[in-house]
């Protein structure tokens, strides 16, 4: 049975989907009983549509796709939250199933879009929104449903993982690592979403919503990036038996959901410490299954298109069978978000400070004033231009107190000579 598809977006992932369809169309029909027929293609690049033989069904206007009565399934691959929201919402209102790879959209408007899908009796699938080619949405919604999930932890941004790997293994600084990532196509010209942790924040919002059955949106996630991480920090971590990763963490606690993104020190013995380069990994802990880890390439035409087309085939199969999604929106609870200020963990803090008598004594006094116990303090790196790098590692402390310590030290005259680096320690 034919299922008629409208594809919106023919960039890297969209072209990858067309490649997969060209290479495996007959296999899909033979194995799964679905004849995927692309009847509309929309993008800003008519040449791509022509190159794949879809020039006669091309349109530059997405409205012609979502309002076309012939289209049964819309694939949205344009990204962003403006036009993409209109694409998905209009398609669902018009009774069309939707497959999207749009993490930002699902992390901000997921509740609304699932409501529209339910009202229209159609399916909304989004496997490619997290982890690229790594299957994780499906396992959380199907294979792991017998579990109470207590923790989801992920390296879910390939750009920052590549940069941190380069800095750690080759000793290059942040700026050089970023230039390298941009030259290789791993980072955008404006890398803010990646290096400031916003991309990872959208992904952990989605994962936490599914894992804990309670709505978590992008605005709920405390996000910090890697701009202040230096090779000094990575060397110090290694000396302590750790590595530094930009981690997205979600945990179910008695107080609610603890969800955050920030640079984190992981023990070198942890499975995720070995995830390098552009690879992603997602670590899930369930009460029955125990510890599991999903690993693979998190970006690129092939991996992302693999996840998109997996959704397309599954949704098309449901349409042929006359059923909707077996598992729709899983957010049946309303749990509070644990304030970041309440976090308790160990901290690594590097201060670039003035190289003069009395500075260390005054800083130690600030830690004592706020009840933060110091495990160690060392000077690292070379003295440069009258400043030194002083590294503190604390015993378990409260985030609120650590922030107060840093703010108090920053307020002292001519002490700080740059932005401190705060890295939480995950044991």
Residue ranges for the known binding site for NADP(+) are: 8-15
- With CA atoms as reference, report the closest residue to 222 among 261, 265, 251, 263: 261
Feature table: binding site: 8-15, 103, 188
Q: How far apart are CA 7 and CA 404, in angstroms?
A: 51
Feature table: binding site for NADPH: 103
Q: Which of 96, 203, 346, 382 is catalytic?
A: 203
Angle at CA 100, nearest 5°, toward 55 and 105? 125
Q: How far apart are CA 133 and CA 98, in angstroms?
A: 18
Q: Check if 203 is active-site.
A: yes
131 — alpha (psi -120 to 50), left (phi > 0) or beta? left
Instruction: Name residue 151's beta-bridge partners.
Output: 251, 285
Token pair in block for residue 8 = 């919106």
- Which positions are catalytic? 203
């Amino acid at each position: 049975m034919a299922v008629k598809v409208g594809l919106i977006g023919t960039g890297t992932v969209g072209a990858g989907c067309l490649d997969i369809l060209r290479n495996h169309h007959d296999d899909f029909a033979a194995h799964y009983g679905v004849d995927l027929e692309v009847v509309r293609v929309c993008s800003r690049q008519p040449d791509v549509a022509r190159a794949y033989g879809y020039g006669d069904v091309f349109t530059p206007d997405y409205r012609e796709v979502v309002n076309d009565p012939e289209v049964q399934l819309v694939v949205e691959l344009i990204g962003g939250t403006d036009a993409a929201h209109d694409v998905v919402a209009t398609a669902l209102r018009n009774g069309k199933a939707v497959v999207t790879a749009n993490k930002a959209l699902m992390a901000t408007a997921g509740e609304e879009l699932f409501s529209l899908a339910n009202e229209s009796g159609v399916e909304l699938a989004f496997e490619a929104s997290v982890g690229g080619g790594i299957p994780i949405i499906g396992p959380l919604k199907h294979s792991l449903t017998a579990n109470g999930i207590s923790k989801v932890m992920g390296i879910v941004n390939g750009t920052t993982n590549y940069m941190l790997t380069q800095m750690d293994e080759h000793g290059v600084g942040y700026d050089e690592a970023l230039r390298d990532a941009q030259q290789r196509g791993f980072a955008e010209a404006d890398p803010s979403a990646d290096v400031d942790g916003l991309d990872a924040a959208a992904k952990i919002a989605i994962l936490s919503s599914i894992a804990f059955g309670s709505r978590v949106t992008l605005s709920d996630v405390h996000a910090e990036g890697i701009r202040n991480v230096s090779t000094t920090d990575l060397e110090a971590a290694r000396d302590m038996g750790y590595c530094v990763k930009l981690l997205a963490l979600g945990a179910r606690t008695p107080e609610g959901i603890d969800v955050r993104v920030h640079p984190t020190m992981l023990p070198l013995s942890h499975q995720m410490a070995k995830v390098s380069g552009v690879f992603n990994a997602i670590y899930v802990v369930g009460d029955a299954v125990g510890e599991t880890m999903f690993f693979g390439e998190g970006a690129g035409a092939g991996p992302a298109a693999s996840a998109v087309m997996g959704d397309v085939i599954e949704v098309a199969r449901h349409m042929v069978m006359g059923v909707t999604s077996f598992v729709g929106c899983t957010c049946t609870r309303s749990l509070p978000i644990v304030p970041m200020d309440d976090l308790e963990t160990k901290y690594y803090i590097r201060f670039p400070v003035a190289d003069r008598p009395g500075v260390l004594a005054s800083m130690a006094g600030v830690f004592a004033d706020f009840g933060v116990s110091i495990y160690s303090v060392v000077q690292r790196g070379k003295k440069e231009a009258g400043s030194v790098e002083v590294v503190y590692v604390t015993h378990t402390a409260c985030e609120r107190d650590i922030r107060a310590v840093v703010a108090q030290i920053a307020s002292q005259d001519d002490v700080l000579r740059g932005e401190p680096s705060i890295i939480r320690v995950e044991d």
